[in-house]
Structure 1
Amino acid sequence: MDAIDTEDADQLVATPEVEPVGRFRIYLGAMPGVGKTCAMLDEGFRRFHRGADVVVGFVETHGRDYTASLVRDLPVLARRRGTYRGRPAEEFDLEAALARKPEVILVDELAHTNVPGLGAHAKRYEDVATLLEAGISVITTLNVQHIESVAALVEDLLGVPVRERVPDAVVRAADQIELIDSSPQALRRRLLHGHVYPPDRIEWALEHYFTTRNLTVLRELALRFVADSQVPTPTLAVASRARWQAILETKERYLAGVTLSAASPRVLRRAARMALRSHADLYALFVHPDEYDPTRDAPRLDALRTLAADLGAILIERDGSDIATLLVDEARARQVTQIVVGASRRRRIDEILHGSVLNRLLRLAGPVGIDVHVIGVRDYDPSPDEFNG
Structure 2
Amino acid sequence: MNSDFKRTTPEEALKKLREELRGRLKIYIGYAPGVGKTYAMLNDANSRLENGEDIVIGYLESHQRKETENQIGKLETVPRKNVEYNDVAMEEMDTDAIISRKPNTVLIDELAHTNVPGSKNKKRYEDVEEVLSQGINVVSTLNIQHLESLNDIVRQITGVTVRETIPDKIIENADEVVVIDIAPIALQTRLKGGYVYKNENVGRALKNFFRLGNLNALREIALRQTAEEVDEDLEEYRKEHGIKEHWHVIERVMVCISPSPTSKKLIRRGARIAKKFKCEWIVVNVNSTRIFAQKMTEKDAATLEGHFKLAMQLGAEVVNLTGKSISRELTQFATQRYITQIIIGHSTRTKLQTLLRGSTVTRLLKLTRDIEVHVIPNDLK
User: Which is higher, the Rg of structure 1 or of structure 2?
Assistant: 2
- In structure 2, the partner of 1:39 is 40
Percent of pairs identical after alignment?
40
Q: How high is the TM-score relative to the length of structure 2? A: 0.57
Unaligned runs of 5+ in 2: 1-22, 253-278, 281-311, 313-317, 324-328, 334-381
CA–CA separation in structure 2 for the residues paired with 1:234 and 1:90: 42
Structure 2 residue 189 is the aligned partner of structure 1 residue 189: yes
- In structure 2, the partner of 1:65 is 66
Describe the SS at the equivalent of 1:203.
helix
Q: Is the 8 A contact 2:56 2:103 kept in 1?
A: yes
Q: CA deviation at 1:196?
A: 0.3
- In structure 2, the partner of 1:82 is 83
- In structure 1, the partner of 2:373 is none
CA–CA separation in structure 1 for the residues paired with 2:205 and 2:37: 19
Letter in 2 for 1:203: G
Letter in 2 for 1:100: R
- In structure 2, the partner of 1:204 is 204
Query: What are the Cα deviations for residues 28-64 of structure 1, in whole angstroms up to 9, with x where unaligned?
Result: 0000000000011111111111100001000001121
Q: CA deviation at 1:160?
A: 1.0
Q: Is the 8 A contact 2:158 2:208 kept in 1?
A: no
Structure 2 residue 193 is the aligned partner of structure 1 residue 238: no
Q: CA deviation at 1:25?
A: 0.7
Q: CA deviation at 1:237?
A: 5.7
CA–CA separation in structure 2 for the residues paired with 1:117 and 1:48: 34
Letter in 2 for 1:238: H
- In structure 1, the partner of 2:171 is 171
- In structure 1, the partner of 2:322 is 367
Q: CA deviation at 1:236?
A: 6.7
Query: What are the Cα deviations for residues 224-277 of structure 1, in whole angstroms up to 9, with x where unaligned?
Result: 11111103123776228xx69x99xxxx9xxxxxxxxxxxxxxxxxxxxxxxx8
Describe the SS at the equivalent of 2:162.
coil
Q: Is the 8 A contact 2:147 2:168 kept in 1?
A: yes
- After the TM superposition, which residues 305-344 of structure 1 pair with which residues of structure 2 at under 5 Å, given as runs? none
Q: Is the 8 A contact 2:56 2:107 kept in 1?
A: yes
- In structure 1, the partner of 2:367 is none
- In structure 1, the partner of 2:28 is 27
- After the TM superposition, which residues 122-137 of structure 1 pair with which residues of structure 2 at under 5 Å, given as runs? 122-137=122-137
Describe the SS at the equivalent of 1:122.
coil
Describe the SS at the equivalent of 2:32.
coil
Describe the SS at the equivalent of 2:237.
coil
Describe the SS at the equivalent of 1:204.
helix
How many residues are matched? 235
Structure 2 residue 159 is the aligned partner of structure 1 residue 159: yes
- In structure 2, the partner of 1:106 is 107
Q: CA deviation at 1:85?
A: 2.5
CA–CA separation in structure 2 for the residues paired with 1:141 and 1:25: 8
Q: CA deviation at 1:212?
A: 0.5
Q: CA deviation at 1:131?
A: 1.3
Query: What are the Cα deviations for residues 95-134 of structure 1, in whole angstroms up to 9, with x where unaligned?
Result: 001111100000000000111113x211111111111111
TM-align CA RMSD: 2.6
Q: CA deviation at 1:150?
A: 1.5
Does 226-235 or 174-183 show the bigger shift?
Answer: 226-235
CA–CA separation in structure 2 for the residues paired with 1:49 and 1:226: 30
Describe the SS at the equivalent of 2:57.
strand
Q: How high is the TM-score relative to the length of structure 1? A: 0.56
